[in-house]
Chain A
Amino acid sequence: MREIQEFTLEELKHHLSEKAFSGQTVVLNMGPQHPSTHGVLRLILELDGEIIVNCIPDVGYLHTGIEKTMESKTYQKAEVLVDRMDYMYAMGNTLVYSLAVEKLIGLQPPPRAEAIRVILTELSRIQSHLLWLGTSALDLAAQSTFLYTMRERELILDIFELVSGARMMTTFIRPGGLWRDVPVQFEKMVRDFTKVMPKRMAEYESMLTRNPLFLDRTKGIGKIDTRTCLAYDVTGPTLRASGLAHDVRKSNPYSGYDLYDFDIPTQSEGDVYARYLVRMEEMRQSVRIIEQAMDKLPYGPVRDPNYKYVPPPRSEIGVSMEALIHHFKLWTEGFIPPKGAVYTAVESPRGEMGVFMESNGTPKPYRVHYRTPSGPLLHALPVIAKGHFVADMIGIIGSIDIVLGDCDR
């Protein structure tokens, strides 16, 4: 029986200062079960009193081998796994997967499917930001915000439950379109939400934006500049809060984002407060996009009619022999995309989420790699946190909004 190995200080000495070995600084373990690390994140902190001298993030506690498992499943079955990566943006995970498969094959989802994809992923973004707002404010001792944000998040999860039957792991967006069309109640529920949301946003802002206790804990804390962001490949609200208006929805539009009118909020300070302001404005912009998409939601089919790749509707199976054969072939053998590799990206609430997919001409993906935004954020965390107090670390982790399932996959 082998002994379980752990890191020794000797192995980490290139990350620590010499004082750690002479006992002048303390090396402290934070996590992986610390409630404020937003998941199973372990940080090894070298502390001089209360000041962070060095920080070594240790990830991998949520590594589930999804990329390996996907290689043994057909394209349709592998999709179910990707929901579980960034569980706060499950709609977006399946969207980027579907976009990659569609690019590989050359499928074009119908306009109605694209509009519904935009609505659902924007709702998903608001939902993720609401959870971020609630929990990161909770970390900074603003307890009531959490209760307010959970109330609105529930409205969105109800919409997801209505369309897909599941609240979080939806697998609603499929290669070639959607699983099915949305029910009739969908429009009313989304309209109700977009009507109520601006008022609720004002409520959150009244609790935080000018709250002196919140300002003390966030202004000037955890600064990162654009240059460092780019060097560490940090994207999303953290990059935008440092001043660069980079958003995949604008720079490389997908699913018809070029049809909608919306702004990319930016701030220049790059601190925790700037990231807070950027995310608050992003929620407003998402509501704007949803309203526009609802206004011009076209009618029509929600799946590409290429039945070699997209399952035919159930109603056809009973009356059409061809549809029955296609259905049988698709759910036993799967479909075979042409050989080649593609990369597609979407804007997740945390940054650029991309998928690199390689097909070798078999019904199973030869290699799927998710380029996830949480990894670079954690990589840059030591740069952001150095020189701050341990208590500020909590605010910083909250403000970069990591999801460990997204980082570890």
Chain B
Amino acid sequence: MNEILSPAVERIQQQFKAQTSEFRGEVTLLISADANVEAATVLRDEFAFDMLSVVTAVDYCPQTNPRFHLVYIFYSTANHAYLNVRVPLDGDAPTIRTLETVYPSANWREREVWDLFGIRFEGHSDLRRLLMPPDWEGHPLRKDYPLGYEEVQFTFNFDEIDIRKPKGVL
């Protein structure tokens, strides 16, 4: 770990009881879901992480505890440093507070995560689907979402296929 990241990592570790891991020179902090906004505020205001480069998720289905990892990657234009922060989320319909108030760019990123993973963001000003059509059912990037090999629903056989579709889990 280099000298730029270590003060930020130590501070987050102490204040939010984060676990640290390192892989290929990248530092990842694992924090709990109730500390995400506070940790992001500390990183932005005290350690000059002025950009939120990535918000995405990883689905570990069928594991449920945690089922998802929400991944934030912060970037500091002053120090040219990236910091990965991961938040484990339990259950099939998790919720977490939005980072929109700290980083406005989180707005679209979180819409995308909601659209594709079904993770709800509390306090989000505009939680609509971003990429899929507004009337889409299910969240495609979840691991239990089928990858093709389904019957195609046309207008003439829509209801017939709809009855046979698995309900609830997606």
Contacts and interface: CB of A to CB of B under 8 A. Distances in A.
A244 interface: yes
A375 B26 CA distance: 25
B105 interface: yes
A388 interface: no
Contacts of A35: none
Given A233-B53, A233-B105, A5 B135 contact: yes
Nearest to B141: A68
A281 interface: no
Interface string B133-153: 111000011000101000000
Interface string B76-97: 0100101010000000000000
Contact of B131 (A59, A252, A341): A59
Interface in A337-380: 340-343, 345, 352, 354, 356, 358, 366-367, 369, 371, 375-376, 378-379
Contacts of A65: 140
A5 B134 contact: yes
Contacts of B134: 5-7
A63 interface: yes
Among A6, A7, A343, A366, the most chain B Cβ lie within 10 Å of the Cβ of A343
Contacts of A341: 23, 26, 28, 58, 71, 84
Contacts of B131: 59-60, 63, 408-409
A231 B40 CA distance: 13
A409 B108 CA distance: 14
Contact of B132 (A63, A67, A72, A345): A63
Interface in A314-344: 340-343
B73 interface: yes
A1 B23 contact: no
Contact of A232 (B105, B126, B158, B159): B105
B7 interface: no
B105 A369 contact: no
Contact of A2 (B50, B107, B158): B158
Contact of B53 (A69, A231, A354): A354
A210 B118 CA distance: 51
A371 B53 contact: yes
B159 A1 contact: yes
B155 A1 contact: yes
Contact of A366 (B58, B126, B129, B159): B58
A366 B58 CA distance: 8
B147 A340 contact: no
Nearest to A355: B54
B71 to A, nearest CB: 7
8 nearest CB pairs, A to B: A233-B105, A5-B135, A60-B131, A251-B80, A63-B131, A340-B23, A369-B56, A379-B108
7 contacts: A2-B158, A232-B105, A341-B28, A354-B53, A371-B73, A376-B105, A408-B131
Given A4-B135, A5-B135, 10 more contacts: A68-B145, A71-B147, A230-B50, A231-B103, A233-B51, A233-B53, A341-B58, A352-B53, A369-B54, A375-B108
